[in-house]
Structure 1
Amino acid sequence: PSPHPHDVLTAELDRLVAAGELPASARPGADFVVWSAVHGLATLLIDGLVQLAPLREVDRETERVVRAVLTGLGLEAPPATPWPAAGSRYTERA
């Protein structure tokens, strides 16, 4: 079976940290930050609040959202106390 999208996202964020493209201090919880942004765009598109055509424009806007979030995470100062450990049914799977 195909990997769960959350697993793909987690692996990609880990790869970015290993490659030095995302600070390790930004990694905890980054999967939920990125997931939230993409989910927000998807919801806006599904609800018709944002309209993009043709389909390749949806792909481009999705890439822009992800790039903006990753850029923001990369510029974020490490917090004085660790970010909350977000979890979901996907992260709690056995």
Structure 2
Amino acid sequence: MGSLERAMLCGFICRLCSEMHRVVLHIYGDEGIRLCVSEKISRYLSINVSQSDPLPKTICSNCLERLENQHKLMVVMERASNLLKSRQGGQGCGH
């Protein structure tokens, strides 16, 4: 258990999958902030991450990729929904 505790202190445990990784992204580091990682986690996963909570503040590349793919999917769906709504703009179904 000592190595797991040490990994958590050093930031090698992913906040999302809880697995140990050699390479992680710090959620509140420059790149994590640029990518809005904490906001995406909150929005798409309903997990609240804050700088003051005692849990890891890192995310592995696999989870980051999945999170980014979810974000891209949601952006496409929101655009499509807005486009369809704007096209309908007062037009009925023709019935």
User: Is the structural similarity TM-score above 0.5?
Assistant: no
Relative contact order: is structure 1 or structure 2 higher (C-alpha 8 Å, sep ≥ 6)? 1
- Decide which structure has greater helix share: 1
TM-score calculated relative to the size of structure 2: 0.30
TM-score calculated relative to the size of structure 1: 0.31
